[in-house]
Structure 1
Amino acid sequence: MTGNRPDKKAIIREKMIEREGEARVVRKIVLTISIILFLLVAITAGGGYFYIKSALKPVDPENKKEMTVEIPIGSSVTGIANILEEHGIIKDARVFKYFVKFKNESGFMAGNYELSPSMTLPSIIESLKTGKVEQDVVFQITIPEGKQLKEIAKIIAEKTNQSEADVFAKLNDREFIQALMNKYPDVLTEEILAENVKYPLEGYLFPATYPFYKEDTKVEEIIMVMLDQTEKVISEYEGDMDERQYTAHQLLTFASLVEEEATEKLERDQIASVFYNRIETGMPLQTDPTVLYAHGEHKDRVLYKDLEIDDPYNTYKYQGLTPGPIANAGTVSIEAVLHPAETDFLYFLATASGDVLFSKTLDEHNAKKAEHIN
């Protein structure tokens, strides 16, 4: 090696030292970033914990001044929580809602309550379960199971002295529907606005008897009371819906088909079983009420020519569920969909006496049809 040439070993050592220095710097940067991220997560988690802990406490333990809070008929837990937060009785509506679910509380009653910001959540809940409606019922609206939107519009019109056309127009007003979607996001999703859905609110006005306390109650208010009830009912089946991966729209659509096929003697869980079996084997559902809905009319009997209508609701031509509900379904039909019977049936036949005959094969079904249907 000449005197002016650098020592290769020295150069290598120098580069190694340089790399080790760079590595130490990188490790320090990574460690610093990791510590910062850990602190941010800890702060966020801690903040959430303390926020929820605070929200579970009274708004103001020293403020015992009572105020009148009105809980309307048909209010859902979400609606009640929002009212309490607006009046300053609770700190956070969402925390109240989850607290109610966690405690499995129910049975809240409509009425005018004297509540204060010093009340604890358990005491508020207890008060809401013992309320009394102070007003007299001015009129009632009864919506039976299996009613379609046009029929419900007629019922509402008769009770409110409005024209059926005006009520039906309000039920299909897109601006009103969008406002309802904003108010009930867990129930009214974008699915109701799908291209093939005939009427967005079809199947969403829950069958029940609704009392009203003002002579001039608006149609909008009536609809919201009904949707409050729908939201309340649907929320009770969240676990079952998650298990079957159903949206509210899918559940109400399926339940409406069961509802429309039902008779007083019919085991709805077996009807649901037939539909499930057909879907699993790739068979169309072939249920007559969907054909009538596609035609937009009621008939005592579906003829072969009726089956030819080219409509997404015609389950003789299109497989699977209809684009949306074809009527409103009660809890019995909803539960039948969520808990169907276990059968091998692929066909059923309702006789004139209201009995229902189930079959596994088409030959067996046709034989029963020849015997019981003229």
Structure 2
Amino acid sequence: MDEHSNRSDEQASRQQSRTPEQRRSMQRDMEEEFSTTYFPRRDRSNTTYYGQHSSRTAVPREKAKVKEEKPAEPLITEETGITKVPKRDAEFENTYVPRRASREDEWNSRIERELQETAMYRKSEPARERRETARKETTRRDTTRRENAHRETVYREPSSRTMSDRSKQKKHKRKMTKGFKGFIVLVVAFIIGFCSFQFMKSIMMMDGSTENLTGETVSVTIPSGSTTSDIANILKEQGLISNTFTFRLSSKINGYDGTYQMGTYDVDTGMTPTQIMALLQSGEVSTKNKLTIPEGYTVKQIADRVAETGICTAEEFINEANTGTFPHSFLKDLPDREYRLEGYLFPDTYFLTENMTAHEIISMMLDRFEQMYTQEYQDAVAASGHTLDEIVTIASMIEKEITLDEERARAAGVIYNRLEQDMSLGIDATVLYAVGKTGGELTQEDLQTDSPYNTRLNKGLPLGPISNPGEASFKAALYPEDNDYLYYVVEAAGKSNHVFCKTNEEFLAAKEKYQASLAQ
């Protein structure tokens, strides 16, 4: 017993010095030893190994092929015929069996201690604590790995330079970095200072002094709807300012932004930006190339007005209006007549340049008509049952006959009423246009003039417009007043308002009053 006990102690000490994996391996080996040596008839195929996280089914092993021991057969002797049963060995009963049982108990208790030291406590440990322990262990391993890698990186190839050399190099780098930063700061400060100087210089030059005027002027045209940025670009192209940004900024600072007026200006080349701003705000445009076309002017009258500017003659203007090619869609399908574009040269104020041609001036007027002829008007014309040329013709008669805006739609109602009743319009302005007059009294000879424009003799609309109407008359022709009037006459001489009548008797009475006013 002492010899076996000493050997067990030695094995226990070696077991404690081994790793858990080695202990489990030893456990399996020793179990195999017990199963084959001390307990040969024991079936350990279903043995459960403790210390695992979950139970598993043991791999079945081959059963030991051991012959079953048969009970000893009784000996029968011939002499006596008495059956003798062999006795059990006392030494075996008293020595071997207790020794084997003691050995098994000792081994079981040792295995139990090993299992408790390794797996039992871990199995009973809560899941959260196990995860925390595993996380700490992983962190410790990662930290150790990084530290080892850092040591290998730092100490794998020691530098041949001394600490003093490295310190000197670092100081040199710091000095270079500080010098470079200082250089950058100086450059930025210089740029800011230079820009500030130029800006303040341009601001200080913006005064209202007239001593800098040279007497040489440049014609500058500011189109309608131009922004401050557009004006600055125009002035820079003309060489009147040097910087568009300072002009825009000064306009905002000095309150000129958004107050500039369209037109053509004579700008002195010596003017400062402030003086140019004041000029553009005042609206004192140059009258030399300013062209104003009143409402109701005919093409012939417009040609005479353009000829006054010296750009072209009246004949050149009329010839270009009749034969020139223009891309505007509303000019398609116009009938042949003496003045093809009559009614479409929109009356407005135009600013011309010295190098303009008759074609360019006509294009400006047609562009202005196209700007007025919005999509709303286009839809209304399409729904009216009349062509655009017919609407413009009615508008041209209203423009020549009616002066007050509030009477335009009412007069348009009269024209439409007479057309529906198949009556001649009898508008004197059409007769004046037929005989080539712009005003005055009509003679009996004038009234009998054979012309498609004479509405005293012909029913329906004249051949075309008799003037170039403005937007008010065009809108009245497109949206006439719904009334029952068939006549209108001027109330009295020297007045602009009319008397509208429903019957011929009312018209004759009103006409008599008008003629009486002429005699006074």
Q: Quick one: distance in 2 between partners of 1:356 and 1:242?
A: 31
Deviations 1:186-217 (A, max 9, x none): 211122x33xx2210111100111123x3221
For 1:148, which of 273, 282, 298 is the aligned residue?
298
Deviations 1:10-57 (A, max 9, x none): xxxxxxxxxxxxxxxxxxxxxxxxxxxxxxxxxxxxxxxxxxxxxxxx
**2:438 matches 1:295:** no
Q: Quick one: distance in 1 between partners of 2:379 and 2:440?
A: 38
For 1:229, which of 354, 362, 368 is the aligned residue?
368
Distance 1:154 1:134, change over 3 A: closer
Paired AA for residue 163 in structure 1: T
**2:316 matches 1:316:** no
Distance 1:234 1:265, change over 3 A: closer
**2:497 matches 1:355:** yes
Alignment correspondent of 2:380:
240
Alpha-carbon deviation of 1:305?
2.9
For 1:163, which of 298, 310, 313 is the aligned residue?
313
> Are 2:393 and 2:466, in contact at CA under 8 Å, matched by a contact in 1?
yes
Distance 1:207 1:134, change over 3 A: closer
TM-score using structure 1 length: 0.60
Identity of aligned residues (%): 35
Paired AA for residue 313 in structure 2: S
Alpha-carbon deviation of 1:72?
9.5
Correspondence 1:156-305 to 2 at 5 A: 156-172=306-322, 174=323, 176=324, 179-180=325-326, 183-184=327-328, 186-191=329-334, 193-194=335-336, 197-212=337-352, 214-236=353-375, 237-264=377-404, 267-305=407-445
Alpha-carbon deviation of 1:280?
0.6
> Are 1:265 and 1:354, in contact at CA under 8 Å, matched by a contact in 2?
no
Q: Quick one: distance in 2 between partners of 1:293 and 1:134?
A: 33
Distance 1:348 1:159, change over 3 A: same
Distance 1:272 1:108, change over 3 A: farther
Distance 1:283 1:160, change over 3 A: same
Paired AA for residue 309 in structure 2: K
> Are 1:273 and 1:340, in contact at CA under 8 Å, matched by a contact in 2?
yes
Deviations 1:319-364 (A, max 9, x none): 1111111001011101111111121100000132222001111111
Q: Quick one: distance in 2 between partners of 1:72 and 1:226?
A: 17
> Are 1:112 and 1:134, in contact at CA under 8 Å, matched by a contact in 2?
no
Correspondence 1:20-39 to 2 at 5 A: none
Report SS of the residue matched to 1:199: coil
Q: Quick one: distance in 2 between partners of 1:293 and 1:345?
A: 25
Distance 1:156 1:276, change over 3 A: same
Paired AA for residue 189 in structure 1: K
> Are 2:294 and 2:348, in contact at CA under 8 Å, matched by a contact in 1?
yes
Report SS of the residue matched to 1:349: strand
Distance 1:135 1:152, change over 3 A: closer
Q: Quick one: distance in 1 between partners of 2:369 and 2:263?
A: 25
> Are 1:265 and 1:356, in contact at CA under 8 Å, matched by a contact in 2?
no
Distance 1:355 1:135, change over 3 A: closer
Distance 1:154 1:247, change over 3 A: same
Paired AA for residue 367 in structure 1: A
Deviations 1:78-132 (A, max 9, x none): xxxxxxxxxxxxxxxxxxxxxxxxxxxxx78795899xxxxxxxxxxxxxxx9x8
Q: Quick one: distance in 1 between partners of 2:306 and 2:346?
A: 13
What stretches of structure 1 of length at least 5 have no aligned partner?
A: 1-70, 75-106, 115-129
> Are 2:419 and 2:425, in contact at CA under 8 Å, matched by a contact in 1?
yes
Alpha-carbon deviation of 1:247?
2.8
Alpha-carbon deviation of 1:243?
1.4
Alpha-carbon deviation of 1:303?
2.6
Larger relative contact order (Cα-Cα within 8 Å, sequence gap ≥ 6): 1
> Are 2:312 and 2:358, in contact at CA under 8 Å, matched by a contact in 1?
no
Deviations 1:252-273 (A, max 9, x none): 1110011110124761111101
Q: Quick one: distance in 1 between partners of 2:449 and 2:297?
A: 22
Distance 1:220 1:72, change over 3 A: farther
TM-score using structure 2 length: 0.44
- Which is greater in Rg? 2
Q: Quick one: distance in 1 between partners of 2:369 and 2:349?
A: 13
For 1:334, which of 474, 494, 502 is the aligned residue?
474
Deviations 1:273-321 (A, max 9, x none): 1001000111011100100111112341123332111111111111111
Distance 1:252 1:73, change over 3 A: farther
Q: Quick one: distance in 1 between partners of 2:232 and 2:385?
A: 39
> Are 1:263 and 1:354, in contact at CA under 8 Å, matched by a contact in 2?
yes
Report SS of the residue matched to 2:351: strand
> Are 2:311 and 2:358, in contact at CA under 8 Å, matched by a contact in 1?
no
Report SS of the residue matched to 1:366: helix
> Are 1:252 and 1:325, in contact at CA under 8 Å, matched by a contact in 2?
yes
Alignment correspondent of 2:26:
none
What stretches of structure 2 of length at least 5 have no aligned partner?
A: 1-220, 234-257, 266-284
